[in-house]
Amino acid sequence: QLQLQESGPGLVKPSETLALTCSVSGGSISGTYYYWGWIRQTPGKGLEWIGHMSYTGTTYYNPSLERRVTISIDTSKNHFSLRLRSLTAADTAVYYCARVHPIGVGATRYYFENWGQGTLVSVSS
């Protein structure tokens, strides 16, 4: 059974960069049509898609975050990562990694088939 597990710091200072990793077990990141992505959740804005990436390196990002986000994949370690730069308090959220089910050619239509348990990230000095 596929499992995803986020890891990373729970507290980050404003203006710094958040780095999270999602370790995947029970299945391989490589060689499938799935994408691998990140979503965050806040009490105020609710659920917000951040972006996703294929194992071949094709990426899609939310335009609202695109200037600050990088998603990468390490197939040798079967994990993928999120970097979010120039943090502010508004980036305080629970961050989830997910296996993304794309529809049709490309991955501009997608839903989230499997989720990690989530990790709370607070941005504060």
Partner 1 sequence: EIVLTQSPGTVSLSPGERATLSCRASQSVSSNYLAWYQQKPGQAPSLLIYGASSRATDIPDRFSGSGSGTDFTLTISRLEPEDFAVYYCQQYATSPCSFGQGTKLEIK
**Interface with partner 1 (CB under 8 A):** 46-49, 60, 62-64, 96, 101, 103, 108-118
Of 89 and 103, nearer to partner 1 (C-beta) is: 103
Amino acid identity of residue 66, one-letter, is E
CA dist 122 and 48 (Å) reads 16
Q: CB of residue 2 vs partner 1: minimum separation in angstroms?
A: 11
Q: CB of residue 16 vs partner 1: minimum separation in angstroms?
A: 25
Of 7 and 16, nearer to partner 1 (C-beta) is: 7
Structure token digits, residue 80:
């993928």
Of 80 and 116, nearer to partner 1 (C-beta) is: 116
CA dist 59 and 102 (Å) reads 12
Q: CB of residue 98 vs partner 1: minimum separation in angstroms?
A: 8
Q: Which residue from 38, 37, 40, 67 is spatially nearest to 55, judged by alpha carbons? A: 37
Of 5 and 16, nearer to partner 1 (C-beta) is: 5
Q: CB of residue 124 vs partner 1: minimum separation in angstroms?
A: 22
Please give the torsion angle defined by the CA atoms of residues 15, 18, 85 and 123, in that order, rounded to the nearest 10 degrees. Answer: -40
CA dist 28 and 76 (Å) reads 10
Q: CB count, 10 Å around CB of 19?
A: 15
